[in-house]
Structure 1
Amino acid sequence: MNGSNDPLHGLTLEAIVTALVEYFGWAELGRRIEIKCFRIDPSVASSLKFLRKTPWARAKVESLYLFMRREQARAAKA
């Protein structure tokens, strides 16, 4: 079987965080996932450092990314 059924396959954590920031902005991202690295002096670098060490937070970020992709797909069909 070629490829993976995992929609996150091949995506870096940096690409995921960057896409979320472009779509939601830091303020909305910090509201949706309440972690300091999104709310206080946010940056992609500080977020990556935290998310790589914190599996529960990374899982929330990945889940929000998948939600964002579904929303984008729905918008594209409309």
Structure 2
Amino acid sequence: MQQSQPNNPLHGIKLSTIVEELQEHYGWEGLAQRIDINCFKNDPSVKSSLKFLRRTPWARSKVEALYLATFTSDNPWKKG
């Protein structure tokens, strides 16, 4: 049974979905400009990015924060 997580806006969203949607929105070059990690700069792919992000918590946090800032209206990073 799944538990409800009302304070977690990323609950139920797969990391692959986050990377794919950000890539569609910004492109690899745009992602590399916003988050300075090699998996977005050198021969980028969703598969290689997921492998790196699953092993690197600080990078995953940055990607998740960018996703929230880009696609949600009720996030703490968005000014308005």
Q: Report the TM-score range of the alignment, normalised by the length of the smaller protein.
A: 0.7 to 0.9
Give the alignment's TM-score, normalised by structure 2. 0.82
Specify which structure has the bigger relative contact order, considering alpha-carbon pairs within 8 angstroms and separated by 6 or more residues. 1
Shift in alpha-carbon separation, 1:48–1:2, aligned structure 2, 3 A: closer
Unaligned ranges ≥5, structure 2: 74-80
**Structure holding more helix per residue:** 1
Instruction: Give the alignment's Cα RMSD to 1 decimal.
Output: 1.6
Q: Percent identity?
A: 56
Unpaired runs of 5+ residues, structure 1, are 72-78
User: Counterpart in 2 of 1:51?
Assistant: 53
TM-score (ref. length: structure 1): 0.84
Q: Distance in 2 between matches of 1:57 and 1:3?
A: 23
Report the number of matched residues. 71
Which secondary structure state, in structure 1, belongs to the residue aligned with residue 27 of structure 2?
helix
Divergent runs of 4+, >4 A? none
